Amino acid sequence: MNRKPTYLFVAVLFLILFTWIFSCNSNKNKDDFSEQVKVSLRDVGHQLLLTNQDSTSLILPIIEIDAFKYELSFQNKLSFEPENLVAIIKSSFKKANLSNKYRVEVINCTDKEVVYSYEIQSTEKKSIIPCKGRFLPKNCYTIEVKFIDETKNTFSNKPFLYLLIFSAFGFSFLIFNTKKQVKSIEKSDENYVLIGSFRFYPEQNKLVKETIEIPLSKKERELLEIFIANPNQVIKREVLTKKVWEDNGVFVGRSLDTYISKLRKKLKGDTSIKLTNVHGVGYKLELE
């Protein structure tokens, strides 16, 4: 029976599951980020109102107007110096450990014109802060803050997603590769079993590699049949001796080791096949 579709289905489920987990975590992180920004902007609004000796008027709800873009607005008119605005936003964002890459625009409520704007980058040299000393007269203003490249940089989402995708494909490859290894022992017809590059004829007590026939003794054949039935698994010494020697007369302790040694020599023509001694336990037929 061909189980490749089953393994492919498992691999696809693996990818879907991890992508879903990633998506949930990513959405949660984005929600947390958005809430942090809103709290910080309310603090910015509070500080600006205090500079106007206003401790009673309302800061209107912070609005997320676009991806990583937020709007701060006020109940009443206010005035401020751009230098104070820059310092207040910088201080508030630093306390909340927010991104240090953002663009700020002060917009006149009436004509929707940008009356002041600046941009903060990761270094002071790259930041653009014009006309800090120019006083903005009392008027209705909204302040918009856009976090720059946040979709690419926040939480390092894309590298993690790529890692998940490659992990899923790696998992699929591992499954298929493992299946292929197990399939290196398979029945090709009714007369022989394929093991690596050998054809094993149990009824005729022989191995065939290309055109070369390698005869096997009865016990060598019986041991090899046990190993073929349990590839890549450790088989205990007592299991091997019980199955091969139990009804065949006296068993000498070194007999098993002797026959294993003989099998190794007959299988050495294929380096992908190994009969490994697991010390104190038994033997294992390894297929690379």
Domains of the chain: 4-155 (no CATH), 185-287 (1.10.10.10)
160 versus 111: the higher-pLDDT residue is 111
25-34, 53-62, 131-140, 220-229: which range is least confident on average? Answer: 25-34
Which segments within 96-220 are labelled E, that is strand? Answer: 102-108, 114-120, 136-139, 141-147, 185-187, 193-195, 198-201, 206-209, 212-215
99-113, 121-135, 238-252: which range is least confident on average? Answer: 238-252
Confidence of residue 183 (pLDDT cuts 50, 70, 90): very low
Identify whether the C-beta of residue 207 lies closer than 8 Å to the C-beta of residue 200.
Answer: yes
pLDDT in tens, 70-85: 999 999 999 989 999 9
d(CA 180, CA 2): 11
Position 253 scores a pLDDT of 59
Identify whether the C-beta of residue 62 lies closer than 8 Å to the C-beta of residue 78.
Answer: no
| First-residue to last-residue Cα distance in the chain | 23
Tell me how far the alpha carbon of residue 154 is from its chain's centroid: 17
